[in-house]
Chains A and B, each alone.
Chain A
Amino acid sequence: MKTIPHLPALRLGEPYQSLNHSEVIDYRDGTIRATLSQVNPGVIRRDLKNISSARAALQKFTSTELLDICRKAGDAFLNDNLPVGNDGLGQGPQQYIETLSSTSGLPHIMVRKNMEKIHFALSNMSTILNGLTRGLDLEVLDRGYGEQSGSPVCFHPTTKALGLVMPSNSPAVNSLWLPAIPLKIPVIMKPGKDEPWTPYRLMQAFISAGCPAEAFGFYPTDHEGAADILRLCDRALIFGDKSTTDQYAGNPGVQVHGPGFSKILIGDDEIENWEDYLDVMVSSISENGGRSCINASAIIVPKYAREIADALGKRLGPIKPMPVDDPSALLSGFANPKMADWIDSAIDSDLEITGAYEATAPHRDGPRLVKAEGGTYLRPTIVACDSIDHPLANREFLCPYASVVEVPQIEMLDKIGPTLVVSAITKSESFKNELLLDSRIERLNVGPIPTMKISWDQPHEGNLFEFLYKRRSIGMAA
């Protein structure tokens, strides 16, 4: 009989088997793929009282040593057999891919791509930190003070730990917290319910690479535990929907990663060439199963919305679920089929409101919601909207979904609202300047660049260094 791994909590690196277990199940047939030690919130509160020791353990290393550990951890994450659970079980990369796929619904190829992204991030951590710190010599962090561009600088940490309430939608989101380790800040994490695998494997990779285990808190827990992580870590990241975003808006200690509402904008000057940019639109909408906040969820154009929607419908409509191990698989199954039901009915219900039609439907052989390959899937959906005010014009769903909306270029920036990534297809200097001045765009791609294309050396959603460190003025007697 195959042993089902049990993932213990990691209490500042120490495995802890709780008497309460939760189950991580296969999205297709509900079989148990792992059990998790579910800890009561008091465990987290108690450990946070001792967090100074975790920070002290990281402080013993220089930044250079920690960067070296990151490189080794990246290799271990990508290639090694790493402990999974507390019964001496190991997990190789292929097992990791298969297991994560079975609980998250991501096809193997997407897990592999996410894995490579994480590996890239760990292997290029010095570049990432260079981007986050704008070229700060990391010895400044080792000493606490130094010089940058000829001026004295001094940085102090804003917290003893980085709290993390993680999602289950995509493994690569873990790359967001990775810089905390070379920045010498321990992490206290509640993993996503269906995706404990990536953070656990990452922590094991770090430990195997020589990072002190104390730097890692891994606490499967309940809502109260998650709230305590956010409340008691002076700095924390949370991932969630708009209600989560709203709940923590204005809390400087909590950085919320919610929906991205990422968009492609085509300027007046390039709209006649829209067909040349279909590939960019298709990949922006559908890469990574359409699950990322950097996937485009709206195409904003000055004209030809219907034509573009129909062309996208023709390209995306026929895409259907494939076996998880098929390298051409483009769609992800839903770990929670009720979520798929909800999305499907929300789209249908809003399509009944005048001013929108689904452009994918004529090119799809069957309904949007399908049971296939043993799981539940949502097939790509493109909706042409007459107005940006239509309820489906600025929405984000956990599947390849986008609206195509006509908005005069002069009104675009006023109407798009907060947007994580804008890919603006224009050569117009004046439009470019307007875009550069807009404060609601987190990352701007100018030209036919997919929204999924981000730069590791430029933070696109909050700067972790600025979140975890604060500059102060310093004077030293000679």
Chain B
Amino acid sequence: MVNEKQITEAAEQLDHHVAEIINWHFSEKTGSSFWLNWAKEQSWNPLEEVHTFGDLCAKFPYFEDGWLRDLPNEVWVPKAYAGRPFNIFETGGTTGMPKQRIGWDDFRSDYTEFSKTLNDEHFPRDHYWMMVGPTGPRRLRLAIEHLANERGCSCYFVDLDPRWVKRLIATQQFDQARAYMDHVVDQALTILKHRQVSALFTTPKLLEALADRRDLVKAGIKGVFCGGTTMDKQYARFLTEEVCEDGKIGFVPTYGNTLMGLARHRPFGPENDYSIAYYAPQPRAVLRVVNSKGEPVEYDQWGRVELTTLTKEFFMPKFLERDEAIRRKPWSEAPWDGVAEIRPFGAMEKKIVEGVY
């Protein structure tokens, strides 16, 4: 059980980190041109008025995702990183310009940290992994390889282009979408047939498709690290009980993206009706569940997911994700708010194209 002391300490740590990051990004010595110029246009000074996470939420407006589409990448380079080539990672882009985030070492830090949450039984060290999912311009591809390497493993890759899948589904070319998914699964099964693989990273739907065609336990899979599309309670239960055969394969759902990093899940099961709650890698990133006024909703209520990223490489305050979730209480291993049962924002009102990613 989490106690008040843990919660208070985590909040203090976050406040301390916020102050450090604000000082970094709004200092002429270390900050990026984007934030320095932005601050000049404001009637207030972040360096003077933002010392805590509460201050940040009160003072900063929502981050505009258009900034990541329209502005050149260089504006986001903190002066302290000047001269170092950066990675360009993308998210979105099914139609039009994708959002781009630049980075250097954040993905390594995030996934090194995440590795500590995996157990050796399901994710054995010094073996082989396979990622079946979106590679290309995504941070995830390098991140998964780093995670595998971090555990002494090497990783095979089978690519899936989610932008194409979404287009196929949006234009109701379901046969083509299925054929493409079969093509991806075929390649993964070929690797499984000819190589020893103990851990998989994939999306829920691809995991299910793989398991439809091959007994994953017999194929030697011990752990599955899974993320990408909505997993409601029933789907999480199905993947746990039936696809992963009730623990024979360790099932590790995650919530993450290029802008945040990776949120870990709190153990779930029949005791909580398979409601999966995710906890951001605080203080490097903070997730809140907010109402239309931007205020946190009550615990166990639905709201929109808001992300704040707080690293020296990237500062992104109050970005409204295209997801909604239930706000959950702090947990002893992550004594801050969690976000549960994530689904596309407005999923109950309209049909959302998710595809296989």
A residues neighboring B (CB under 8 Å): 18-20, 38-40, 42-43, 45-46, 49, 227
Contact = CB atoms under 8 A, between A and B. Distances in A.
Contact of A39 (B208, B234, B273): B234
Nearest to B233: A19
Contact of B273 (A19, A38, A46): A19
Contacts, number: 29
Interface in B254-275: 273-274
Interface of B: 174, 208, 212, 232-235, 237-238, 242-243, 273-274
A20 B242 contact: no
B232 A42 contact: no
B237 A42 contact: no
A229 to B, nearest CB: 15
Given A42-B208, A45-B212, A19 B237 contact: yes
Contacts of A20: 232-234
A43 B212 CA distance: 11
A42 B274 contact: no
A39 B242 CA distance: 13
A38 B238 CA distance: 12
12 contacts: A19-B274, A20-B232, A20-B233, A39-B234, A40-B235, A40-B238, A42-B208, A42-B212, A42-B243, A43-B242, A45-B212, A227-B174
Given A18-B234, A40-B235, 4 more contacts: A20-B232, A20-B233, A46-B212, A49-B212
A46 B234 contact: no
A46 B242 contact: yes
Nearest to B351: A223
A254 to B, nearest CB: 15
A23 to B, nearest CB: 14
Contacts of A49: 212
B233 A42 contact: no
A45 B174 CA distance: 17
Nearest to A45: B212
Nearest to B242: A46
Contacts of A19: 232-234, 237, 273-274
A45 B211 CA distance: 11
Counting chain A CB atoms within 10 Å of each CB, which of B212, B237, B238 scores highest?
B238
A46 B274 CA distance: 20
A219 to B, nearest CB: 13
A42 B237 CA distance: 11
B97 to A, nearest CB: 31
Nearest to A18: B234
Contacts of B235: 40, 42
A43 to B, nearest CB: 6
A45 B213 CA distance: 11
A46 B213 CA distance: 10
A46 B234 CA distance: 15
A180 B309 CA distance: 59
Contacts of A45: 208, 212
A49 B212 CA distance: 9
